[in-house]
Amino acid sequence: MIPQPPDSTAPPGVDAESAAISWVRAAAPAVAAIAALTVSAAVVFAAGGNPAVALGALASGAVGDRFALVDTLVKACPLVLTGLAVALAFRSGVWNIGAEGQLLVGALAATAVGEASGTLPSPLPLLLALAAGALAGALWAAIPAALLVARNVSEVIGTIMLNFVAVRLVGWAVHGPLLESGARYPQSDPLLPAALLPLVAGRLHAGVPIAAALALVVWAVLFHTAIGFRWRALGQNPRAARAAGFSPARTLVSAMLASGGLAGLAGAVEVLGVTGRLFEQFSGGQGYTAIAVALLARLHPLGVAVAALFFGALAAGSGSMQRAAGVSAVLVAIVQAATILALLALESPRLALTHRAPAPANGKTT
């Protein structure tokens, strides 16, 4: 199904081949990232740019000074949360391609609740807005989950459709009920300070440590709780899940609720920590980038934090690359694509680089 996570046990009998396989498996994300940057340098060259200048500007824009580092952390924050959302769903064998839509409804709900509760005593508006964002994302993800469980509607189609509905919903909200008082631009009024995430240092908002902590929480839940075990079991083999005595349907719905909640929280954190208001085109595709983040992390929650930093750095550095080297910032999308494709190739069962060739089909019982 999905690229096998590193902890999925190899068959018994450790030998030289297994050792080589686990070595390649451990190195795969780094190899993929390097391959992706190499491909991108080639693209820069083909487009008439200077790869050294472009990548140098990219690096200095990402980690060159304190301001750049903060920018990288701030850009990584929503990717940690959406990456966790995707990793959790994929681990559970559910194709949640809808982190984008869940992020958008999370941002919408956080804005609406943040505005409505802005005059309450201090921590309340913020907490209510964060909770509303997570809840909205979870409910948005519950729709395709219910359609899948009850009506056998593919969650790939369901989540993609709801991404589009969410885009329109945000568009409607900022042209309608949430339109700013002056009605000059299709955007909401700025949120009151009581609803905003406090700033830790410069533009670094409190959402960044929250996201890092959630990576630990998701790791703990996934590997050290009963529900986490069920999610992983469902992802490995739905029939075994049923045989182990728990309901695949209920497990699937709970995985989607948790996944949607994380993505919804990502939207809330962006509104409350970065933009301070909602507008059209609110998401820059973080919900889709999340797929690359989760895969580069090999669907591991702690890896998600690292992979999100990588893509956050690219996002932060792409602007200065565009200014310095004249290469469009959208080059970042090529890095993402090349990373995914390199990882898929390294994990390919046909190449058998990171796991044993599939057993011949003669052992089939059905």
List residues near other proteins by CB under 8 A.
1-3, 43-44, 47-49, 95, 97, 143, 147, 150-154, 156-158, 160-165, 168-169, 171-172, 175-176, 237, 239, 288, 291-292, 295, 322, 326-328, 330-338, 340-341, 344-345, 347-351, 358-361, 364-366
The span from the CA of 276 to the CA of 55, in Å, is 32
Closest approach of other proteins to the CB of residue 8, in Å: 12
Q: Residue 277 is inside which H or E element, if any?
A: none
**Of 165 and 200, which has the nearer Cβ to other proteins?**
165
**Of 176 and 182, which has the nearer Cβ to other proteins?**
176
Closest approach of other proteins to the CB of residue 198, in Å: 33
Closest approach of other proteins to the CB of residue 12, in Å: 17
- Are the CB atoms for 117 and 195 separated by under 8 Å? yes
**Of 97 and 268, which has the nearer Cβ to other proteins?**
97
**Of 44 and 130, which has the nearer Cβ to other proteins?**
44
- Are the CB atoms for 61 and 318 separated by under 8 Å? yes
- Are the CB atoms for 111 and 270 separated by under 8 Å? no
11 burial via Cβ count (<10 Å: 0-12, 13-18, 19+): exposed
- Tokens coding 92: 């559970």
Closest approach of other proteins to the CB of residue 114, in Å: 21
Closest approach of other proteins to the CB of residue 204, in Å: 28
Q: Which residues, at least 6 apart from 99, have a Cβ–Cβ distance to it below 8 Å?
A: 82, 85, 86, 259, 263, 266, 286, 287, 288, 290, 291
Closest approach of other proteins to the CB of residue 147, in Å: 6
**Of 73 and 148, which has the nearer Cβ to other proteins?**
148
- Tokens coding 49: 């740019």
The span from the CA of 195 to the CA of 123, in Å, is 8
**Of 49 and 137, which has the nearer Cβ to other proteins?**
49
Q: Euclidean distance between the first and final Cα of the chain, in Å?
A: 19
Closest approach of other proteins to the CB of residue 144, in Å: 8
> Which amino acid is it at 286?
Q
- Tokens coding 281: 């085109």
Closest approach of other proteins to the CB of residue 348, in Å: 4
- Are the CB atoms for 138 and 258 separated by under 8 Å? yes
**Of 101 and 207, which has the nearer Cβ to other proteins?**
101
Closest approach of other proteins to the CB of residue 205, in Å: 27
For the chain, how many residues are written? 366
- Are the CB atoms for 61 and 72 separated by under 8 Å? no
**Of 269 and 307, which has the nearer Cβ to other proteins?**
307
Q: What is the DSSP string of 37-88?
A: HHHHHHHHHHTT--HHHHHHHHHHHHHSSHHHHHHHHHHHHHHHHHHHHHHH
**Of 182 and 360, which has the nearer Cβ to other proteins?**
360
Closest approach of other proteins to the CB of residue 111, in Å: 16
Range list of H helices, the chain: 16-46, 51-63, 66-91, 99-116, 123-151, 155-175, 207-224, 226-236, 238-243, 248-270, 286-296, 301-325, 331-346
**Of 161 and 200, which has the nearer Cβ to other proteins?**
161
